[in-house]
Amino acid sequence: MRIDVLKNKFILNQLFIFLGIFAFNLILKSIKLDTYPLWYDEMISVKATFFDFGHIKHQSEWDTNPPFYYYCLWVWVKFFGISEYSVRFMSVLFSSLSSVFFYLICKKLTKNHIALLATFVYSIHQFIFIYSHEARSYSLLLFLITISTLLFYKFLEKPNYILGFGLGFVNFLIIYTHYLAGIFLFFQLIVLVVYHKQHYKEVGIALLTSIVLVFLRFTPKQFKLLFGFHSQTTEESWIKLANTDSLKQLIYNLFIDKYIAVLIIITIITGTFYLIKRTKQLNETTKPFFVFIYLTSIGSIMLFFLMGKFMHIFIDRYIIFSVPFIIILLQISLDSIHKHATLILIPIICYQLITLNTETPKSMDFRTAAQVSSILQQKFNGFIIVQTNDVAELFTYYYKRESLENYKKLSENLLSSNVVIIRTFDDLKDINLNSAPVVLCQTFQKETDSNKIFEFLNSQDRLFSSTQAVKGVKITLFSREMR
C-alpha cells in the first residue's frame, strides 16, 4: 500500500514538473509575440495555407523545403486564422513541448535537479527563443528531434519492433520537416550500426519505416533536394560559402554567446578527459548514447562546416537541432568533472536571464511599408508598383488583406486598386502608367534592373524622392509635382 502511495506521489510530482516546464515556456515565449510584423520567410509559410492541402507539397518545392511544417500550419490556421500572433503561436507551442521532452532526456542521464537546470538553460537559450517567435519550421524540428532522441535512448535500452517503428516514423517526420536534419539521422544510424549489430532486425524496422515513407511522400524534385542536387552559383545564392568568420559566429549563436561559448568549450574539453577515464564504467546504453551526443553536437557542426565549404547552406538556423545536444554535452561534461560542477549552470542561467532579449526584430517591415505606400498613393492619386513579386503576398497582407481571400485572383484584385506587382523591368513595359504618379516599393531588387526602372519612370518628366527609413524596403515616389 505504501509503495503505491509513493508511486502515485512520484507520478504527480513529475506531472507537476512537466506542466511547470511547459507553462513557463508558453508564458515566456508568448511575450511580445506580435510586436513585429511578418517578414518574407514567414509569409512563405503563410502563403502555403492559401493553397489546397494536396498542392502544398508542390509549393514547398519552390521554397526548397519539405512540406510537413506547411501541412501543420494549414490545419492550424483553419482553426485560429491568420495573424502575427496566431501563426507564430504554433511555434511557441512546439518550442514549449520540446523543452518538456528535453527534460525527459536529461533526466535519463542525471539527477532530477540537474536535469531541471539544464532544461532551464535550454528554455531561455536566446537562439531557441528567437525561432520560437517565427512562423517557420525550426521549433517543430526541435520538438521532433527531442522525441526522436528520447525514443532512441529507449531503443538503445531495449530494442524492439514497436520502438523501431516509432523511431522510424518520427525520423521520417524530421526529414519531412528539414532536409539538413538528415545529419542528425546519419549520426543516429552510425551509432546503431556500430553498437547494435546484433539487433539488425529491430534497426532494420526503424530504417525501413523511414525509407518506405520517404518513397511514398517525397516528389522527384524533393528527392533531388534531399540528396543535395539543388545547387546555386555564388551569384545566385544569398548564402555565402562557409569560412572561419561565419563558423565563429555560428558557434557564438549555438553556444549562447561568445563569452559563454568559451566557458562551454573549455568545460567540454575538460569533461571529455574525465569521461574517457571512466569509459569502462558506462553501461551498454549510456556509452553509445554519449557517443551519439558528441556526434550530434560537435560532429554536426564540423560536418555542416565541411558541407558549407562547397554548398551554399551555411547558415546558423539550419543546424539549430544541435543546440539541445550542446547543452546535454555540457551537462555530461560537468557531471564527469565533479558532482558539484553542475552548479556552474546556475550562473549561466543568471547570465541568460540578464541578457535575454524578448524582442525578436525582423529584417524587413512591410507593415510600415504598406502604410506609407498607401498614404502616398492616396495623396498623389497614383499607382503602387511592388518589386519583386516574391513579396506580393507580404505587401498585400498589410495593404489590403481581404485580397488574399481570393488568392487565385490576387493580381486582378490588386490591379483594381492600382497596385502592380513586377519581378523585373521587362514586366513594367506592358503597364500603361501614362504620366500618373508612382510609388515604387522595392525589396530584393537588383541594382542593374533597378536603374532601368528609375530611368524609365524618370523619362516621363517625373521627379523622384527615395527613402530607406523603412527597414528592409526602399520606397520611392515618382511624381511631376512634389507637395
Residues of the chain with pLDDT below 50 are 234
In the numeric block, which cell numbers belong to residue 391? 513579396
Three-state helix/strand/coil letters over 367-416 = HHHHHHHHHHHHHHCCEEEEECHHHHHHHHHHHCHHHHHHHHHHHHHHHC
pLDDT at 341: 87
| Amino acid type, 201 | K
Question: Residue 266 and residue 167: Cα distance in Å, rounded?
Answer: 34
pLDDT at 4: 64
pLDDT at 237: 64
In the numeric block, which cell numbers belong to residue 6? 509513493
pLDDT at 232: 53
Cβ atoms of residues 239 and 314 within 8 Å: yes
Q: CA-based angle 185:189:193, to the nearest 5?
A: 175
Q: Length of the chain in residues, anyone?
A: 483
| In the chain, where the domains are located | 21-355, 366-479
In the numeric block, which cell numbers belong to residue 283? 553501461
383: β partners: 438
Question: Residue 211 and residue 236: Cα distance in Å, rounded?
Answer: 32
The alpha carbon of residue 344 and the mean position of all alpha carbons in its chain are separated, in whole angstroms, by 29
DSSP result, 193-222: HHH-GGGHHHHHHHHHHHHHHHHHH--HHH
Question: Residue 266 and residue 261: Cα distance in Å, rounded?
Answer: 9
pLDDT at 284: 83
pTM here? 0.94
pLDDT at 94: 98
Find where cell 524533393 sits. 222
Find where cell 523511431 sits. 167
- Whose CA is closest to 38, among 91, 75, 79? 91
**Hey, how many other C-beta atoms are within 10 angstroms of the C-beta on 232?**
13
| Sequence-distant (≥ 6) Cβ neighbours of residue 325 within 8 angstroms | 149, 293, 296, 297, 300
